[in-house]
Amino acid sequence: MAEEGVTVAGPFRLGLPAVIVHGGAGGWKGLRSEEEVVSAVRRAAEAAQGLNNAFDAVVEAIRVMEDSGVLNAGLGSVVNYEGEVEMDAGLMAGDLRVAGGVAAVRYPRNPIVLAAWVARNLPHVILAGPAADRLAERLGLPRHPGPQERMLKRWREMMRLINEGELDRLPGHAAAIARLYGGDTVGAAAVWPGGEAAAGTSTGGIMMKHPGRVGDSPVPGAGFYAENGVGACAATGIGETILLARPCIYAVELLREGVPVAAAAEAAVARHTRLMGGDNLGVILVSADGYAAAAMNTEAMPVAAAGPESRLAALLRRGGKIK
Ligand code: GLY
């Protein structure tokens, strides 16, 4: 029996290599096409299967979702209070040696590719702002084309409401209202034969956020966590709550203690709900033996998974199941 307010899907027996991805927990109100969104996560999980290791699989899965234009990351990123795209992304390998994140970047079309470069090449974990953008340009990474028209339309509508006094005029507070719409963040978690694990996330953050605001997505333990021989987790939701409660490290620690994957995902979301309230978190979790699960306390979250023994893709809805 699921904990009150927590929707759980799984366990899914995928076999190894195992990949699970999500396209963002949230309200998913005004969804133009469920098929478009489900297709984006399905393509991501399947593309990742073709890679040689868990780390590259996570990069590829997230790159595909960033390029889809229908999820809140990369091309489909929401905009901040000034109507500009500002993205965060991060990932780590389960050896706890290779991790990279980028925060509040505007230049790269694929922030996850820049984060992977940081992880592999720099003795730092997180790079932020204009210096990270200059690095992306120097590396010759493709440039982000700027906000989609549908995001600018939402932004203009919200600015109108703010100007008419119907919404709080402070950037972060307007974000609290904007977050009720759409989805949030993309993420991937993977385990390869032999136990190699990796996880990562990428996001445009929260609509109407304060310029310069950084969420959980580039931060290991919060937005993602992986440990070889144990498993990997990626989170989505309200970054401020995820930074403070760090559900991904909690979920992977439960796996290490022997808790089955669906129970661990559910417990991580239930704990988060107790600490932070509801409507703020989704997680995906994969264990070293090739089982995966998803859990959330929001209205919906697109999820896809792929392995040699099964594959699936669906929009998980509150109280629902993925068949
Ligand atoms: N979880 C993404 C964010 O809050 O920025």
Mutate to test the pocket of ligand 1, among 78, 203, 213 (most ligand atoms within 8 A of CB): 203
> 269 by DSSP, 3-state: which?
helix
Q: Tens digits of per-residue pLDDT, 204-249?
A: 999 889 999 999 999 999 999 999 999 999 999 999 999 999 999 9
Check pLDDT > 50 for residue 130.
yes
Our answer on whether the CB atom of 26 is closer than 6 Å to any ligand 1 atom is: no
- What's the fold here for domain 7-317? Glutamine Phosphoribosylpyrophosphate, subunit 1, domain 1 (3.60.20)
Q: Tens digits of per-residue pLDDT, 60-93?
A: 999 999 999 999 999 999 999 999 999 999 999 9
| pLDDT score recorded for residue 176 | 62
Q: What average pLDDT does the segment 153-182 reach?
A: 75
Task: Kindly report the protein residue whose alpha carbon is nearest to atom 5 of ligand 1.
Answer: 205
Known active-site residue 185? yes
Domain extent listing, the chain = 7-317
Q: Tens digits of per-residue pLDDT, 171-211?
A: 666 666 555 555 679 999 999 999 999 999 999 999 889 99
Query: Helix crossing, 54-68 with 111-121: angle to 10°?
Result: 150
pLDDT band at 10 (very low <50, low <70, confident <90, very high): very high
Q: How many CB atoms lie within 10 A of CB 52?
A: 9
What sign results for the dihedral spanned by CA atoms 56, 57, 61, 67? positive
CA distances for 66 relative to 51, 61, 86, 218, angstroms: 18, 9, 13, 15
Distance 235 CA to ligand 1 centre (A): 9
Our answer on whether the CB atom of 203 is closer than 6 Å to any ligand 1 atom is: yes
Helix (H) or strand (E) holding 96: none
Mutate to test the pocket of ligand 1, among 80, 181, 185, 301 (most ligand atoms within 8 A of CB): 185
| pLDDT score recorded for residue 259 | 98
Distance 71 CA to ligand 1 centre (A): 13
The answer to whether 81 touches 174, Cβ cutoff 8 Å, is yes
Q: What average pLDDT does the segment 296-316 reach?
A: 96
Check pLDDT > 90 for residue 124.
yes
Query: Helix crossing, 149-163 with 171-178: angle to 10°?
Result: 120
Distance 161 CA to ligand 1 centre (A): 23
> What single string gives the DSSP state of each residue in 189-218?
EEE-TTS-EEEEEEE--STTPPTT---STT
Our answer on whether the CB atom of 236 is closer than 6 Å to any ligand 1 atom is: yes
pLDDT band at 163 (very low <50, low <70, confident <90, very high): confident
Atom of ligand 1 nearest to the CA of 237: 1
> What single string gives the DSSP state of each residue in 139-181?
TTPPBP----HHHHHHHHHHHHHHHTTSS-SSHHHHHHHHTTS
Of 22, 181, 19, 202, which Cα lies nearest the Cα of 103? 202
Which distant-in-sequence residues (6+ apart) come within 8 Å of 58 by Cβ?
48, 91, 188, 189, 190, 198, 199, 200
Of 227, 191, 204, 294, which Cα lies nearest the Cα of 92? 227
Q: Tens digits of per-residue pLDDT, 88-111?
A: 999 999 999 999 999 999 999 999
Atom of ligand 1 nearest to the CA of 203: 2
Q: Tens digits of per-residue pLDDT, 253-295?
A: 999 999 999 999 999 999 999 999 999 999 999 999 999 999 9
**Cα–Cα distance for residue pair 189/124, rounded to 1 Å:** 22
| pLDDT score recorded for residue 161 | 85
- Rounded percentage of the chain residues whose pLDDT exceeds 90: 85
Our answer on whether the CB atom of 216 is closer than 6 Å to any ligand 1 atom is: yes
| pLDDT score recorded for residue 1 | 46
pLDDT band at 311 (very low <50, low <70, confident <90, very high): very high
Check pLDDT > 60 for residue 48.
yes
Atom of ligand 1 nearest to the CA of 238: 4
| Tokens, residue 110 | 């694929």
The answer to whether 287 touches 261, Cβ cutoff 8 Å, is yes
Helix, strand, coil share (%) of the chain residues, nearest 5: 35, 25, 40
Marked catalytic residue, from 185, 236, 241, 298? 185
Task: Kindly report the protein residue whose alpha carbon is nearest to atom 4 of ligand 1.
Answer: 239
| Tokens, residue 274 | 């107790």
Atom of ligand 1 nearest to the CA of 214: 5
